[in-house]
Amino acid sequence: NMYRHDIGFSSTNAKKWQEELEILRNNNAKLTTALQESHANVEEWKRQLQFYRDECSRLRQLVSNHHSPNDGQISEAQELKNLLDKADERNREQEQKILQLESQIQRYMTQINTLEDRFASTEEDNQRLRNEISTIHRRTPSSTHGTMSRSPNRNVEQLTRLRDLFEMKTNDLNQTLAAKTQDLQRLCLQITQTITEF
């Protein structure tokens, strides 16, 4: 009777672990979506930066083509040229920031893909655990004349081992996901700062 209670408890734990795994999968999907949005933002900023660069080149060309003997206009043209030089320098700095952000996004995407592989592996472990629990249920004597191929202690030990393995993997995934979430929040903050500097 105690043995049946342990198996029932293990089945309940297996369901709980499946729910936790589903939560982890949903969180992972949210992270992936956020990274994809960040990547799209970086691509948009690159287009904007190219527009600014082209506009600076066009204005610079206008200034260089403008010849006037008037000292006031020469001074204004030089001032405009200096402004364009500063804008070019700022654009180069922004381009470097964008390239760094893009590199970070690519690195996080790779890490997320690795995380998805680990989810798949954990799901396989979870399925094995469910199969093992099901097998132990079938081997549990349903009446006084039933037989068991294993001792109750061996079955409980195996369930405990499987439970511990799954809990360890779930905790590991939770910690990894929490770290990736913090990394993503930092990346989003950097992206926001880069936007405001445009």
- Whether the predicted pLDDT of 159 surpasses 80: no
pLDDT digits (tens, 9 = 90+) for 109-145: 777 777 777 777 777 777 777 777 777 767 765 544 4
Predicted local confidence at residue 146, as pLDDT: 45
Q: Is residue 24 part of a domain?
A: yes
Q: Is residue 160 part of a domain?
A: yes
- Whether the predicted pLDDT of 149 surpasses 60: no
Specify the amino acid at residue 177.
Answer: L
More confident of the two residues 123 and 1: 123
12, 15, 17, 18: CA torsion to nearest 10: 170
Q: Is residue 68 part of a domain?
A: no
**Domain CATH for 125:** 1.20.140
pTM, two decimals, is: 0.50
Q: Is residue 59 part of a domain?
A: no
Predicted local confidence at residue 150, as pLDDT: 52
Q: Is residue 89 part of a domain?
A: no
pLDDT digits (tens, 9 = 90+) for 56-101: 788 778 777 765 556 666 677 777 778 888 888 887 887 888 788 7
Give percent of the chain above pLDDT 70.
Answer: 73
Q: Is residue 28 part of a domain?
A: yes
More confident of the two residues 190 and 195: 190
Predicted local confidence at residue 192, as pLDDT: 65
Residue 176, domain extent: 2-42+97-142+149-197
Q: pLDDT grade, residue 5 (50/70/90)?
A: low
Give the residue carrying structure tokens 């399925």.
127
Q: Is residue 168 part of a domain?
A: yes
CB 94 within 8 A of CB 49: yes
Burial of residue 10 (CB within 10 Å: 0-12, 13-18, 19+) is buried
Residue 197, by phi and psi: left (phi above 0), alpha (psi -120 to 50) or beta? alpha
How many structural domains are present in the chain?
A: 1
Average pLDDT, the chain: 72
The predicted model gives 15-29 an average pLDDT of: 73
Q: Is residue 34 part of a domain?
A: yes
